[in-house]
Chains A and B, each alone.
Chain A
Amino acid sequence: MSTGPVATESATTPLRKDKPEIVRERRLGLTVRGWTIVGALLTVLFLELAPRLGLVDSFSLVPLSAMVMRAFGLLTDPEFLSQDLVPSLLSILVAFIFAVVSGVLIGLLVWRFDWARKTLDPWLATYYAIPTFALYPLLVALLGIGFVPIVLLATLFAVVAMISSTVDGLDGIPRSVLRLAAVLQLDPFQRTFKVLLPAALPQISVGLRLALSYSLIMVLASEFVLSTSGLGHFISNAYNDFAITDMYAGVLLVFVLALGLNFAFAAALRPQSKRVLS
């Protein structure tokens, strides 16, 4: 058995990419991660001690422990959950789903049809230079305040990230893969769902994370001015009422929400990102 396929493996050995070794370089006795933790601890310590020691007056900042206690209090308060947290989460979710579905569809059209690309390209290139939020007076005039204009603004803000990342992903598909789809005579449905979208997924997943962040930012910002409910409204309301602990508890919840969603997303998409050919 010296000429069979087995013997040829030396010429075509699989390149198993093991995890690259993490460089544990130390700076002033600590690893990079060590310094990150030190930084976080110092921030926590400052937020706790500065108001207690009188470095910052208690109307500007409350101790972190008070914020955390109040945040837990809010999470067990049915009125806060139904009036503020759930409406915000719902708006974010709806805006995110709208942005993803329409963004991917428009992305497919832009990639497939030259006229669509030529029409939309200037818009896509300049879109994020325009402060979408400046449209809010117009939306108030057209749609009033509440759920609809908030979701619309957030969708508008997030959709372009989805379009751009979808088009980038589709543009990056190797020619041989597209020719494979042609040779196998895939119908448009198979072509889209079995070849195009999975092949573009690594870039699309970048767009997904951006779209989620953009939806969250825009929903909360809009709730400050366009709503009588929601987490954003809760924060601005607390601010107006000088309910500083409530306000910080709300801000803290927003931070935790944003970080949590982002980490959950990154974790869910990680297995995909490895399956990319270099």
Chain B
Amino acid sequence: MGAKVELRDVDRVYGDVQALSPTNQVLEPGTFTTLVGPSGCGKSTLLDIIAGLNKGNGGQVLIDGSPSTGPRRETGVIFQEAAVLPWRTVLDNTAFALETQKVPVRKRREIAREVLQRVGLSDFVNHYPHQLSGGMRQRVAIARVLSTDPDLILADEPFGALDEQTRVVLGLELLKVVRQGGATVLFVTHSIQEAALLSDRVLVMGARPGKILLDLHVDLPPDRDPTMVGSPVATALVEQIWTVLKSEAQRAMVEQGPRS
């Protein structure tokens, strides 16, 4: 099988800042890859370019071997703040992606109910987002992404605003549901533990210019549970990532200087 996503010399410049230096990467189908790095290192830019929301200045993004020209239906994107529509019930939020693709009401609601069950929200089908906690709203957003059965899922710090426990629980749930569907995942986070616990592969990014510094394989069994954070494999990995990021973060802070 060919690569799901292939980046060829993709870069992005904002003014005179090299947000992303020319990057070459391949994401293999069905893998869960995490992109970890300090804030402002260009990880979200890279994700946006793959999502088709941002055009790189140069290079090419190939998805399933053909050049990407913009957003595509088979790509699901999960944002940092849960992008839920407050005037719609959980069910109709979940069915929204299918609705915009003109799937008939009965069919899309049936699919929405099924994915809501998978993310553990069956009892909240008729609730409105304001009645849910932040973690549950993010699950609604995940359910909506799953509803279209995407082959590529891009997650931009989806659990960044949540507390540590919820974050681990939701991360593992996401891992479980995407493993069932076989989608390729690129997951952006600034949490090193989250990266080690969830992924098959960790890409470590540094800032200014944003570039991938390390490409690590995570040698943990495919089925993860929270206790694995403490395993020797994960601990060693976290330490390795930390060493690189620490010097990067310090360098970035010195270079950026005080923000006005």
Contacts and interface: CB of A to CB of B under 8 A. Distances in A.
Interface of A: 3-6, 8, 11-17, 174-177, 179-180, 182-186, 190, 194-195, 198-199, 201, 272, 274-278
B130 interface: yes
Contacts, number: 94
Contact of A179 (B53, B129, B133, B163): B53
A88 B79 CA distance: 51
B236 interface: no
Contact of A14 (B80, B99, B136): B136
Interface of B: 51, 53, 70-71, 73, 75, 77, 79-87, 96-97, 99-100, 119-120, 124, 127-136, 139, 163, 165-166, 169, 173, 225
B53 A272 contact: no
Contacts of A175: 81
A177 B77 CA distance: 12
A11 B81 CA distance: 18
A14 B120 contact: no
A184 B85 contact: no
B93 to A, nearest CB: 10
Given A179-B79, A185-B73, A277-B86, A17 B120 contact: no
B227 to A, nearest CB: 11
Nearest to B73: A185
B85 A5 contact: no
Nearest to B225: A3
Contact of B87 (A182, A190, A198, A278): A198
A64 to B, nearest CB: 43
B133 A15 contact: yes
A12 B135 contact: yes
B131 A184 contact: no
A167 to B, nearest CB: 19
B73 to A, nearest CB: 7
A12 B166 contact: yes
B169 A8 contact: yes
B81 A176 contact: yes
B134 to A, nearest CB: 8
A5 B120 contact: yes
23 contacts: A5-B119, A8-B166, A8-B173, A11-B165, A12-B133, A12-B134, A14-B131, A14-B132, A17-B130, A174-B83, A179-B83, A180-B77, A180-B79, A180-B83, A182-B71, A183-B71, A183-B75, A185-B71, A194-B96, A194-B100, A198-B87, A272-B87, A276-B130
